[in-house]
């Protein structure tokens, strides 16, 4: 009996520790204490459930693992973008934000169930060794990676250490083995090319700590090559990143007025970001490309340029993530990513679960045939469980059939509706010849060229 009592006391200590673990650094401990008896009743039920699972579940369980999953479930129950970040996930997030990481220097993706090289980053160990776009990674240090995260984890490591990467290359019968020395790799979020004199194309893949600086460098290179007549800004499949970088990048083209406002439950989480006059006046016309993969920070840029009538938006409706998250550090390398505010475009629009609607709707054609790349089959913010409403005063309610939310049947396999862009020009080095296969880019170019012609006709 005493043994059972002692076990129950130890379990309670574990539960209280878990609560303190979650709240430390996040500023919630006072609220937890103030919520009174109901909170502790809930913790009591929680400890009872864990004890029953420990004693009766069909397989042995790890109490620490159970508690972590319980915390994760609680946080995910708030909205799809709040989460508990284990140490490895928190480290990945920091690397993405900082703009550099230790590794070999390749972009990879999962294509036809193979971990495939999108492109090596110029000047990195992978580039110098001769790894090419479309190479398939079959082993890392003699071990087949389980998934993309596992492959990334295996290839990253301290500068100066070695890693052996075995790849399969089309046209080569035997696997190729590369012994690479890891180095510090810059995260490239900007790629650019001149399509024709005076017309530039800049592709932003995500928003990291150095995105705006790299973007301005690309702009200056474009502007110095020939008198600028028009710019195409590609934000397709850009999942977002740092809010501050999205604001700074928008400010490059907007001289006054509001760029963004964020509104949270507390005043400290509310803020208005205004534009500032720039020394360099960039008044040339712009077309911004978006699709259902354009989210968060990418939508901030597109919304600001659209509201200020600074750019024409072309493509398909964006993802619709109009919320802001902050990251609070916890103990033992963990962190809590928590939604703290909604954001609004300069005109006061909330794009939460709605997205940015393009001025010109144009779907992407798959290179090599006339079929349409239909991104309407992709899951968007409005399809995610527990997504926030655009209006903070709206009450959450179950989506009724026909309300606009996808049914379970529709959600089962949305990817099957989408034609994979196996020959996407972006699977490899960016060239002006390559992007000529992209109907959205070419249509954007036609718009800019037509604008220049009309301007010369109207102002001879």
Q: What is the 3-state secondary structure (H, E, C) of the chain?
A: CHHHHHHHHHHHHHHHHHHHHHHCCCCCHHHHHHCCHHHHHHHHHHHHHHHHHHHHCCCCCCHHHHHHHHHHHHHHCCCCCCEEECHHHHHHHHHHHHCEEEECCEEEEEECCEEEEEEECCCCHHHHHCCCCCCEEEEECCECCCCHHHHHHHHCCCCCCEEEEEEECCCCCCCEEEEEECEEEECCCEEEEEEECCEEEEEECCECCCHHHHHHHHHHHHHHHCCCCEEEEECCCCCCECHHHHHHHHHCCCCCCEEEEEEECCHHHCEEEECCCCCCCCCCCEEEEECCCCCCHHHHHHHHHHHCCCCEEEECCCCCCCEEEEEEECHHHCEEEEEEEEEECCCCCCCCCCCCCCCEECCEECCCCCCEECHHHCCCHHHCCCCCCCCCCCCCCCCCCCCCCCCHHHHCCHHHHCCCCCCCCCCCCCCCCHHHHCHHHHHHHHHHHHHHHHHHHHCC
Query: Which of 207, 229, 193, 80 is closest to 426 using CA atoms?
Result: 193
Question: Quick check: is 356 in a domain?
Answer: yes
Q: Does residue 360 fall inside a structural domain?
A: yes
Is residue 89 one of the residues assigned to a domain?
no
Considering 76, 92, 126, which residue would you say is the last residue of a domain? 76
Residues 301, 385 within the same domain: yes
CA distance 430 to 286: 20
Choice among 296, 318, 323, 350 that is catalytic? 296
Angle at 206 between CA 244 and CA 186, to 5 degrees: 95
Residue 414: the pLDDT is: 33
Does 91 reside within a domain?
A: no
CATH of the domain at 366: 3.90.226.10
Asked if residue 310 and residue 427 are part of one domain, the reply reads yes
Q: Based on the domain organization, do 405 and 330 belong to the same domain?
A: yes
Domain boundary among the residues 39, 61, 76 is at 76
With a pLDDT cut of 90, the percent of the chain lying above it is 57
Per-residue CA distances from 114 to 110, 293, 307 (Å): 6, 22, 42
Query: Between 210 and 424, whose confidence is greater?
Result: 210
Separation of alpha carbons 95 and 9, rounded Å: 40
Q: How confident is the model at residue 426, as a pLDDT?
A: 54
The verdict on 209 and 305 lying in the same domain is: yes
143 lies in the same domain as 130: yes
Report if residue 87 sits inside a domain: no
Q: What percent of the chain has pLDDT over 70?
A: 81
Strands 312-315 and 360-361: what pairing? parallel
* Pair (139, 252) in one structural domain: no
CB contact at 8 A, 121 and 186: yes
For residue 440, give both structure tokens.
């959205």
Among 50-54, 112-116, 183-187, 423-427, top mean pLDDT goes to: 50-54
Res 3 pLDDT > 80:
no
In a domain, 85, yes or no: no
In this structure, are 221 and 313 located in the same domain?
yes
CB 429 within 8 A of CB 119: yes
Q: How confident is the model at residue 418 (pLDDT cuts 50, 70, 90)?
A: very low
Closest CA to 140 of 122, 126, 123, 121: 126
Q: Quick count: other Cβ atoms within 10 Å of Cβ 191?
A: 17
Residue in 307, 383, 424, 438 annotated catalytic? 307
Say yes or no: 324 and 244 in one domain: yes
Contact 270, 264 (CB under 8 A): yes
User: Is residue 90, in this structure, part of any structural domain at all?
Assistant: no
Q: Which residue has the higher pLDDT, 278 or 36?
A: 278
Q: pLDDT (tens digit, 9 = 90+) per residue, 242-256? A: 999 999 999 999 999
Q: Of 153, 186, 219, which closes a domain? A: 186
Is 379 a residue whose pLDDT tops 60?
yes
**How far, in Å, CA of 192 to CA of 228, rounded?**
14
Same domain for 412 and 385: yes
Domain contains 288: yes
397 tagged catalytic: no
What's the pLDDT at 129?
94
Q: Which of 321, 354, 365, 380 is catalytic?
A: 321
Q: Please report, for the domain that includes residue 135, its CATH number.
A: 2.30.42.10
Domain that residue 26 falls in: 2-76
Note whether 55 and 169 are same-domain residues: no
Q: pLDDT for 88-145, tens place per residue? A: 888 878 877 776 788 998 878 788 888 998 778 778 899 999 998 889 999 999 999 9
pLDDT in tens, 273-304: 999 999 899 999 999 999 988 999 999 999 99
The reply to whether 159 and 258 lie within a common domain is no
Q: Are residues 261 and 321 in the same domain?
A: yes
147 catalytic per annotation: no
**How far apart, in whole angstroms, are the C-alpha atoms of residue 199 and residue 76?**
45
Q: What angle do CA 344, 348, 349 make, to 5 degrees?
A: 70
- Catalytic, 413? Answer no
Total number of domains in the chain: 3
d(CA 16, CA 335): 18
């Amino acid at each position: 009996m005493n043994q059972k009592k002692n076990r129950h006391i130890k379990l309670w200590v574990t539960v209280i520790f878990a609560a303190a673990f979650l709240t430390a650094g996040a500023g919630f401990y006072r609220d937890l204490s103030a919520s009174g008896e109901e909170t502790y009743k809930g913790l009591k039920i929680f400890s009872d459930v864990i004890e029953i699972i420990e004693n009766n579940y069909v397989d042995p369980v790890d109490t620490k693992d159970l508690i972590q999953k319980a915390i994760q479930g609680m946080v995910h129950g708030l909205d799809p973008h709040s989460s508990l970040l284990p140490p490895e996930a928190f480290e990945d997030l920091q690397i993405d934000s900082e703009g550099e990481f230790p590794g070999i220097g390749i972009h990879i993706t999962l294509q036809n169930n193979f971990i495939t090289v999108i492109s090596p980053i110029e000047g990195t160990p992978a580039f110098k060794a001769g790894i090419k776009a479309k190479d398939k990674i079959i082993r890392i240090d003699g071990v087949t990676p389980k998934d993309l995260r596992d492959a990334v984890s295996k290839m990253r490591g301290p500068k100066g250490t070695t890693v052996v990467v075995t790849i399969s290359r089309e046209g080569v019968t035997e696997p190729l083995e590369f012994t690479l020395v890891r180095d510090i790799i810059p995260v490239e979020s900007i790629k650019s090319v001149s399509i024709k004199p005076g017309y530039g194309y800049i592709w932003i893949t995500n928003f990291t700590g150095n995105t705006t600086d790299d973007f301005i460098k690309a702009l200056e290179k474009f502007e110095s090559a020939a008198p600028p007549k028009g710019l195409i800004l590609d934000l397709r499949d850009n999942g977002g990143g740092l809010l501050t970088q999205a604001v700074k990048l928008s400010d490059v083209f907007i001289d006054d007025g509001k760029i963004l406002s964020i509104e949270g439950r507390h005043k400290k989480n509310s803020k208005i970001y205004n534009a500032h006059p720039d020394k360099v006046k960039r008044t040339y016309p712009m077309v911004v490309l978006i699709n259902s993969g354009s989210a968060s920070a990418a939508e901030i840029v597109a919304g600001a340029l659209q509201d200020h009538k600074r750019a024409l938006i072309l493509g398909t409706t964006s993802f619709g993530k109009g919320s802001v998250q902050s990251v609070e550090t916890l103990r033992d390398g963990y962190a809590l990513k928590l939604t703290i505010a909604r954001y609004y475009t300069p005109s006061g629009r909330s794009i939460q679960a709605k997205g940015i609607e393009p001025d010109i709707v144009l779907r992407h054609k798959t290179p090599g045939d006339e079929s349409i790349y239909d991104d309407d089959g992709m899951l968007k913010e409005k399809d995610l469980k527990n997504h926030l409403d655009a209006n903070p005063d709206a009450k959450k309610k179950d989506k009724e059939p026909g309300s606009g939310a996808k049914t379970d049947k529709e959600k089962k396999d949305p990817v099957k509706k989408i034609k994979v862009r196996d020959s996407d020009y972006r699977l490899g080095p960016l060239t002006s010849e390559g992007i000529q296969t992209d109907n959205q880019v070419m249509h954007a170019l036609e718009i800019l060229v037509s604008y220049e012609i009309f301007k010369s006709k109207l102002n001879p």
